[in-house]
A and B are shown apart, each in its own frame.
Chain A
């Protein structure tokens, strides 16, 4: 004996339609709950997507070799206080470490760049052609460095977008001469825009020059061939550990450090650090979702409350249905379907509200929001479960009624 789902749903809709205001208010709890879950997950996912983008913009599978620390009078200074890395170290890593895909030695400083009557202070980074591959960077115009530029310590420069905007406005800078610390440089290319880094640093406010030129003309070095850091791109994410080991072994050998001695350099896995940041946003997203689902729970309690009222009000109706042969489960099903109709309708409206809210948030506050199909399915499923869970007790109560007493009830 199957009472069709359709008939039961029709009965439920009619019962809810009779008390339009009450049904709407009851649904409101679920609407707000589902809406906030959708919006919160959209905001959280937008944030974590943005971080992923920034991770990608930094360059993937990135290792950074830093000079070691100085110990003077028992006081240990920070990393990079003692310059121990050389250009030759970088070349050796490129030659000898099989897990390394690209290498870019870095010697950086800050200097004033001048073009005509415009000037701008920016980060000057002395490096090699490998920098583009290491940082997953590309040029929008001009040409990259060549090995010849490095060997000859050519006075050529690649500019980031921010520098171009500040010095040239909308003019094409390629082929123009700019001055860095009074030394004239020819602009040979412009870098593609990368946007902000995870920590909010402008990744386009820089100028790349050959590392040899930097050593000789722009940035003071304590010894010939010194570089501050060496950026490394491993062949793949899985090869990062191997690359790290190979570099450590090689530099230990080159710097003549015995196996027990303290290293005069350190290697950091930048990608890993960013992945940690990514993970923390993901936790944040879950937390937001969890807080939002509390309101869904409150909405569910609202449904239970109204369903209990409804069962009491309709005692006689239940009695009539029982008298003409409704079995326990048919009565239970009727009220359960009614609760689920409330919660699922609320869920659908809530999803729409959540989508609209996240659109508004991204328009007005400029937050990246991403509505994943999974969060929609999850919210809808969850609201259905709320209906079943909170509808069950009232339905159970209705099914326990005694038909005679129910019929006698006014």
Chain B
């Protein structure tokens, strides 16, 4: 599903050029559950941003479902994100003034889903994640775990086959972290959603089936675990 060929990313910071990725070539199959690990500054977040179509490569090619998206326009990338991808962030990144329901409806707003269907599907997604009765709460009225579940509902509501999670448990306590990770596992196994998870915690990465380690912008290890 995902293939990168010699992907390089160089940031221009003033006069200096900072290399973040140095020729990364790998592929991730449909239904996989991958953890990307590495110390800060290793390029793992940059790699996830590129896979998530939030950023463009400096050199190399990124094939998504066989299509080279390396030089897609901003709007074409937005459409891919809308249809194929969901995002879960460390800081939840919910709209603070919108209710849980409205947050979940957001991706459907941009895919032009009719209002009635939007409401229905958003409600279903929230119920599925155990948030029944919380539809009209604002994010600051919800606990961290609940907020993250709203974010997950938002990520899967458009039936996107790909889910990106950037340190999804970074702001959560251990118990809630485990609940969220169980949720990811269930989504991966039951709904066959491909999950790409960025983390620096071993016990979080242990939930995945494949661990890719980055150091200084290159892949240093790529370990598949037996299920």
Contact = CB atoms under 8 A, between A and B. Distances in A.
A50 interface: no
A193 interface: no
A4 B89 CA distance: 28
A122 B181 CA distance: 104
A330 B108 CA distance: 13
A328 B112 CA distance: 15
Interface string B77-94: 011011100010100011
A403 interface: yes
B173 interface: no
B75 A3 contact: no
Given A18-B97, A403-B54, A2 B112 contact: yes
A317 B93 CA distance: 8
A97 B30 CA distance: 102
Nearest to B78: A327
Contacts of A329: 75
Contacts of A179: none
A324 interface: yes
Nearest to A317: B95
A325 B55 contact: no
A329 B79 CA distance: 12
Contact of B82 (A14, A316, A319, A325): A325
Nearest to A320: B93
B75 A324 contact: no
Which of A2, A4, A7, A320 lies at the interface centre, i.e. has the most chain B CB atoms within 10 A of its CB?
A320
A321 B89 contact: no
B100 to A, nearest CB: 14
A323 B115 contact: no
A85 B79 CA distance: 90
A4 B115 contact: yes
Given A4-B115, A321-B106, A407 B89 contact: yes
A15 B78 contact: no
Nearest to B49: A404
A364 interface: no
Contact of A326 (B54, B78, B98): B78
Contact of A323 (B87, B97, B112): B87
> For chain A, which range describes its interface: under 10, 10 to 19, 20 to 34, or 35 or more residues?
20 to 34
B154 interface: yes
A324 B107 contact: yes
Nearest to B73: A328
Contact of A325 (B49, B83, B95): B83
A404 B54 contact: yes
Q: Of A319, A322, A325, which is in contact with the most chain B CB atoms at under 10 Å from its CB? A: A325
Given A4-B115, A404-B54, A326 B93 contact: no
Interface string B90-120: 0001110110000000110111100100000
Contact of A322 (B78, B98, B111, B112): B78
B74 interface: yes
Interface of A: 1-4, 6-7, 14-15, 18, 316-317, 319-330, 403-404, 407
26 contacts: A1-B79, A3-B109, A7-B115, A317-B95, A319-B93, A320-B95, A322-B78, A323-B87, A324-B81, A324-B87, A324-B106, A325-B79, A325-B82, A325-B83, A325-B107, A325-B158, A327-B75, A327-B78, A327-B110, A328-B75, A328-B78, A403-B54, A404-B54, A404-B55, A407-B89, A407-B93
Given A1-B111, A328-B78, 4 more contacts: A14-B98, A323-B81, A325-B83, A404-B55
The 3 A-B residue pairs with the shortest CB-CB distance, nearest first, are A325-B82, A324-B107, A1-B112
